[in-house]
Amino acid sequence: MTDPSSGPDSGGALPDQRRPAPTEAGPGVVKRGSFGANGSGDTSGFGGLVRRPWSPAPAERPYGEPFDEVTDALVAAYPGSGEAITKVVVDRGELTFHVRREHLVDLCRTLRDDPGLRFELCSSVSGVDYLGTPDRLHSVYHLTSMTYRRRLRLEVSVSTEDPHVPSVTSVYPTADWQERETYDMFGIVYDGHPALTRILMPDDWDGFPQRKDYPLGGVPVEYKGAMIPPPDERRSYT
């Protein structure tokens, strides 16, 4: 890693592929301040903190060694890949395809079965909430190929008004409980799932806890004579 022949702009010890990609304005809301401190009265400086949402810019061909191979194999094996894949991102040595939900199951079946791709293992199905964008709920699939020792990420975006995504349990049975967890925490409804029920919260729970607009739900605690509010309500001077 410490290559003495590397030039001054090599970015330090990171090999080319692990370098972060250039960024563009990304999905989500601007975050200001810390712990709800806004307006005047906060002299700590935390109120001046502004974090703008960013996401890696779409990647240009050539992507870099293993990703080109995967993309070419996928385009060859899945004829509809032009409309299925909306965006390709190569960032820090990881390949992500943003996929339309209609093509998700067929694409997964191709990724699993094609001899050049062979992504047999669905490592994880999880969710992300980018509050502030129209399609704020993302369902993220991490696929692993054990034959070729490489990984891939698929991302499907849906809105809260129509949070339906086809279920990949017919292709990857391991996604069963993972999709239940994503449904429980984000409210993404997986059509075609054998038994989509809550898995972490009690069965009759209201709301989807890991969405960004769900409150933390803490109680004030008495400590050394004072009532300390829960963490998301502290340091508010307004």
Partner 1 sequence: MGLEEKLPSGILLTSVEKLVNWSRKSSLWPATFGLACCAIEMMTSGGPRYDLARFGMEVFRASPRQADLMIVAGRVSQKMAPVLRQIYDQMPEPKWVLSMGVCASSGGMFNNYAIVQGVDHVVPVDMYLPGCPPRPEMLIDAILKLHDKIAHEPLGPRRAKALAGQKHELVASSVRFGK
Burial annotation 15-49 (CB, 10 A radius, 16+ → b, else e): eeeeeeeeeeeebbeeeebbebbeeeebeeeebee
| Closest approach of partner 1 to the CB of residue 202, in Å | 5
Smallest gap from Cβ 178 to partner 1, in A, equals 18
Number of H helices, E strands in the chain: 4, 13
Cβ-based nearer residue to partner 1, 45 or 231:
231
Q: For binding to partner 1 (CB under 8 A), which residues are involved? A: 200-202, 205, 209, 214-219, 221, 230-231
* Minimum distance, C-beta of residue 59 to partner 1, in the bound complex (Å): 38
Dig out the tokens for 161 from the structure: 């008004």
Coil vs helix vs strand at 220? coil
For partner 1, the closer of residues 7 and 217 by Cβ is 217
How far does CA 14 lie from the centroid of its chain?
24
- Which CB sits closer to partner 1, 25 or 200? 200
Of 148 and 214, CB closest to partner 1: 214
- Which residue number, 179 or 184, has a Cβ lying nearer to partner 1? 184
Minimal distance in Å, beta carbon 111 to partner 1? 34
- HSE-CB at 174 with a 13 A cutoff on CA atoms is 11
Distance CA(141)–CA(138), nearest Å, equals 10
- From the CB of 145, what's the least distance to partner 1, in Å? 35
CB contact at 8 A, 136 and 130: yes
Q: At what angle do helices 65-77 and 104-113 cross, to 10 degrees?
A: 110
